[in-house]
Amino acid sequence: MISLADITAAINHWLYATLPGWAALLVEAVIVGIAAITLFAVLGLVLVFMERKVSAYMQVRLGPNRVGPGGTLQTLADTLKLAMKEGLTPDGADKFLFNLAPYVVIIAAMLILAPIAFAKGFQIWDLNIGILYVSAVSSLSVIGILMAGWASNNKYSLLGAMRSGAQIVSYELSAGISVVSIVILTGSLRISDIVASQQDGWWIFKGHIPALISFVIFIIAVTAETNRAPFDLAEAESELTAGFHTEYSGMKFALFFLAEYVNIFIVCAIAATLYLGGWMPLHIGHWAAFNHVMDYIPSSLWFWGKTFFLIFVIMWFRWTFPRLRIDQLLNLEWKYLLPISMVNLLLMALIAVEGWYL
Amino acid sequence: MIEEIGTTEAGELVINMGPQHPSTHGVLHLIITISGETIKKVEPHLGYIHRSIEKMCESLSYRQFIYVTSRMDYLSSHINNHGCALCVEKGMQIEVPPRAQVIRVLMDELTRLASHQLWWGAMAMDVGALTPFFHAFREREAINDIMEETCGARLTMNYMVPGGVMADLHPRFAERVKEFMRFFRSKMDEYDELVTNNVIFKSRMQGVGYLSRENAISYGCTGPTGRASGVSCDMRKIAPYEVYGRLAFNEILQTEGDCYARYLVRMAEMRQSLSIIDQLIDNIPEGDFQAKTKAVLKLPKGEFYSRVETARGEFGVYIISEGGTTPYRIKFRSPGFSNLSALDHMARGHKIGDLVAIMGTLDLVIPDIDR
């Protein structure tokens, strides 16, 4: 069976055979860069369309259904509209920071794509501190948001940015501790190792209840980190009009919008990798026949299926729950999630030390 | 006590909320002073859609001025029209036929339902849940269709005239109302599942925007806002008009006085409205839908006042007549204006998110406040 890993290996082999070493590396870097940017754009389009359809079905309506077959080209049309709009910079804004902010946010989102394993052997950069890198880079986006809020010279934006800062910095802790609890089990920060350790069962099943708790906490924390409802206080349409991106228009706004959706994809991909085995098919203990059948489903399909399931769950949150208040949001983190995840981490360490997982 | 605008202490920030803001539901302008996220002061500024309705009424005849009042509280347009018609009837001493009385009450209650449905959706949207809005509109659409069939309009109905109603009910009216009731009863439980019992929603609502009974009275809060603070102020009970006196329904009272109490009062009121419609829909008497009146109405010299219960509270019409074909002076007592005046008191010390929630439970309709 041809896998994506074979294709990439073949391309790599052919490039190094035909070109000198440095040129081959350069060509590979360009190919990967173009692929990443394309993935980025396509993800944005698909996820926005998905969100509109999911919300439509939850809200007893049809959603976009005019542009293209089944409305699939609607987001493309919207993107074109945004691209043609004038990107205004308000009077009194800090022009440099104002224009820089969307790029900081989007670059932070783009960087995290690097260590994600999309399929078996299909990964841009399998660095040995993969998951630590993800945690580190994902917290960069808050700088872009604070920049946008501060530079807009708008009180609503400022409030939104301040909320966002408090929120992301707090929820980073719970998300980080949840990640650590899986790292304890796998003993490695490398994404490919984490996936490989789930060969005979996903951590959410193997890690007993502590893994389940840390999965739930991780999903809550990343929902907050990506500023999604019920934690969308940074945007909070009914309170702050549009929060930190109130003053942005045209493509600059589109970049924030795109970054939001790519961030959702990334956090769901990380959650799928840590808890649901990434591209690893569903394997149950010693059921050899069952495991063999599952292996026939391509690994990329497993990865995308799990990720989109989690994305759907996060969208489901958004269209069902009301928004929390800022003090409730911080209480939830500091009074509940953080203590629970710390105790959970100890339990997880106990499980790892005693080797109670399979 | 009125403090001067713009006096801020160190660390305070003045924000203009509105006139164009997603959660002021119209062109309300609030100047809020905040310290961090905490609200220090809220000052509503009115006048952005002032249309001098009271002044306009002075040059309109007693038949015409009723229609202008549909444009005040556009979500209770039937009830506004009803109040005005009652006042003219009081002055002219017109006896309204029993059929017209029942039709009026039915329409009032349907309007109240439609208004509360819209409020439910809009308020959920204020606290960040977008889905209920669409669910509410699905049900409201059914009422609008019923209205359209009988009155010919969906929002500003202009159906009440002095002496009765403008036209008879559509033959399918009763059937369609029953169909709607069956449908809506099942949806009420869905409302509770989706919003009322939601943990986040409850934590956003309970203990927020407290208004004591004394303050509710002194601010003149009526309607669900007053009743949530324990003030018995349902005009349908206190001063029954039309057939309300012989209907079995309860005045919903809560004592908590917070946002959740106001929410529960409105939810319970929807059920009461359903029960009122239930009692009447099979018992619409036969007969005229309009009393015989002169072509030109002239109120005798004097002062006349009538009051009705709109979806937002007590709506009063005060007419001073000099005996001519047009009123000498008209004053409307709109419930939204008084309810809004309590906003500052309720919001102080809360967060910005709470201000929006409080405004949501006050159910403000800006054209009603700003006539």
pLDDT digits (tens, 9 = 90+) for A156-192: 888 888 888 888 888 888 888 988 888 888 888 888 8
Nearest CA in chain B to A61: B134
Q: Which two tokens stand for residue A90?
A: 């308000």
Residue (of A154, A102, A24) closest to A258 by Cα position: A102
pLDDT confidence of B1, banded at 50, 70, 90? very low
Q: Where are the alpha helices (DSSP H) in A155-207?
A: 155-186, 191-196, 203-206
Q: Does any domain span residue B8?
A: no
Q: Does any domain span residue B43?
A: no
State the burial class of residue A122 (Cβ atoms within 10 Å of its Cβ: 0-12, 13-18, 19+): middle
For chain A, give the number of residues: 358
Least confident segment among A205-214, B70-79, B274-283: A205-214
Average pLDDT, rounded, for chain B: 86
Cross-chain residue pair B194–A320, CB shorter than 8 Å: yes
In tens, the pLDDT along B25-37 reads 778 888 888 887 8
For A89, half-sphere exposure in the C-beta direction (CA atoms, 13 angstrom radius) is 13
Beta-carbon contacts below 8 Å between A and B = 82
Interface of B with A in 286-325 (CB under 8 A): none
Q: Does any domain span residue B158?
A: yes
Give the C-alpha distances (Å, rounded to integers) separating B192 from B43, B78, B225, B345: 33, 27, 20, 29
Suggest the residue from A51, A240, A325, A330 to mutate for an interface test with chain B (most B CBs closer than 10 A): A325
Interface of A with B in 323-352 (CB under 8 A): 323-328
For chain B, give the number of residues: 371
Q: Which residue has the tokens 């949207």?
A: B125
Residue (of B130, B137, B141, B158) closest to B70 by Cα position: B158
Suggest the residue from A232, A323, A336 to mutate for an interface test with chain B (most B CBs closer than 10 A): A323
Cross-chain residue pair B134–A323, CB shorter than 8 Å: no
The three-state secondary structure class of B25 is coil
Residues A295-313 have a mean pLDDT of 85
A86 touching B (Cβ < 8 Å): no
Contact residues on chain A for B124, CB-CB shorter than 8 A: 322
Sequence-distant (6+) residues with CB within 8 A of B294 are none
Q: Does any domain span residue B14?
A: no
In this structure, the number of other CB atoms found within 10 A of the CB of residue A358 comes to 9
Contact residues on chain B for A236, CB-CB shorter than 8 A: 128, 353
Of residues A60, A159, A328, nearest to B138 (C-beta):
A60
Burial B149-180 (b: 16+ CB within 10 A, else e): ebbeeeebbbbbbbbbbeeebbeebeebbeeb
Cross-chain residue pair B200–A55, CB shorter than 8 Å: no
Is residue B10 pLDDT above 80, yes or no?
no
Q: Does any domain span residue B47?
A: no
Q: What is the spatial distance between Cα B41 and Cα B347, in angstroms, rounded to a whole number?
A: 8
Burial A251-288 (b: 16+ CB within 10 A, else e): bbbbbbbbbbbbbbbbbbbbbbbbbbbbbbbbbeeeee
- What's the pLDDT score for residue B6? 54
In tens, the pLDDT along A248-282 reads 888 888 888 888 888 888 889 889 888 888 787 77
Sequence-distant (6+) residues with CB within 8 A of B295 are none
- What's the pLDDT score for residue B318? 92
Query: Residues of chain B with pLDDT > 90: what percent?
Result: 3
Eight-state DSSP code of residue A336: I
Nearest CA in chain A to B194: A320
Q: Which two tokens stand for residue A81?
A: 């509209």
Q: Does any domain span residue B3?
A: no
Contact residues on chain A for B198, CB-CB shorter than 8 A: 321-322
In tens, the pLDDT along A318-336 reads 888 888 888 888 888 899 9
Cross-chain residue pair A241–B127, CB shorter than 8 Å: no
Radius of gyration of chain B (CA): 21
Cross-chain residue pair A238–B198, CB shorter than 8 Å: no
A229 touching B (Cβ < 8 Å): yes
- Å from A154 to nearest chain B CA? 10
Q: Where are the alpha helices (DSSP H) in chain A?
A: 4-18, 21-58, 74-84, 95-112, 130-138, 141-151, 155-186, 191-196, 203-206, 208-225, 237-240, 250-275, 288-295, 299-318, 326-331, 338-354
- What's the pLDDT score for residue A358? 60
Q: What is the spatial distance between Cα B194 and Cα B135, in angstroms, rounded to a whole number?
A: 10
Contact residues on chain B for A320, CB-CB shorter than 8 A: 129, 131, 194
Element (H, E) at A119: strand A117-119
Cite the beta strand spans of chain B per DSSP E.
12-17, 29-35, 38-45, 160-161, 164-165, 302-309, 314-321, 329-333
Is residue A207 pLDDT above 80, yes or no?
no
Cross-chain residue pair A238–B22, CB shorter than 8 Å: yes
- For residue B316, the cross-strand partners are B307, B333
Of residues B13, B126, B195, nearest to A155 (C-beta):
B13
The enclosing domain of B170 has a CATH number of: 1.10.645.10
Residue B370 — φ and ψ, nearest 5°? -110, 90
Cross-chain residue pair A230–B128, CB shorter than 8 Å: yes
The more confident residue out of A297 and A310 is: A310
Torsion of Cα atoms, B294 then B296 then B301 then B303, to 10°: 90
The three-state secondary structure class of B145 is helix
- What's the pLDDT score for residue B8? 67
Q: What is the spatial distance between Cα A173 and Cα A150, in angstroms, rounded to a whole number?
A: 24
Residues A44-54 have a mean pLDDT of 88
Is residue A351 pLDDT above 70, yes or no?
yes
Q: Which two tokens stand for residue B272?
A: 């009461």
Residue B306 identity: S
In tens, the pLDDT along B203-218 reads 888 888 888 889 889 9
Torsion of Cα atoms, B51 then B113 then B362 then B68, to 10°: 10
Nearest CA in chain B to A57: B131
Least confident segment among B7-11, B137-141, B148-152: B7-11
Residue-range definition of the domain harbouring residue B117: 52-369
Q: Does any domain span residue B339?
A: yes
Q: What is the spatial distance between Cα A98 and Cα A103, in angstroms, rounded to a whole number?
A: 10
The total number of structural domains in chain B stands at 1
B204 touching A (Cβ < 8 Å): yes
Q: What is the spatial distance between Cα B225 and Cα A60, in angstroms, rounded to a whole number?
A: 31
A55 touching B (Cβ < 8 Å): yes
Residue A327 identity: D
**pTM of the complete model:** 0.85
Sequence-distant (6+) residues with CB within 8 A of B146 are B110, B173, B176, B177, B180
Give the C-alpha distances (Å, rounded to integers) separating A223 from A48, A149, A177, A252: 16, 20, 15, 23
- Å from A313 to nearest chain B CA? 15
Q: Does any domain span residue B23?
A: no
Q: What is the spatial distance between Cα B179 and Cα B126, in angstroms, rounded to a whole number?
A: 31
The three-state secondary structure class of B351 is strand
B26 touching A (Cβ < 8 Å): no
- What's the pLDDT score for residue A72? 84
Average pLDDT, rounded, for chain A: 84
Cross-chain residue pair B37–A323, CB shorter than 8 Å: no
Cross-chain residue pair B352–A239, CB shorter than 8 Å: yes
Residues B194-199 have a mean pLDDT of 86
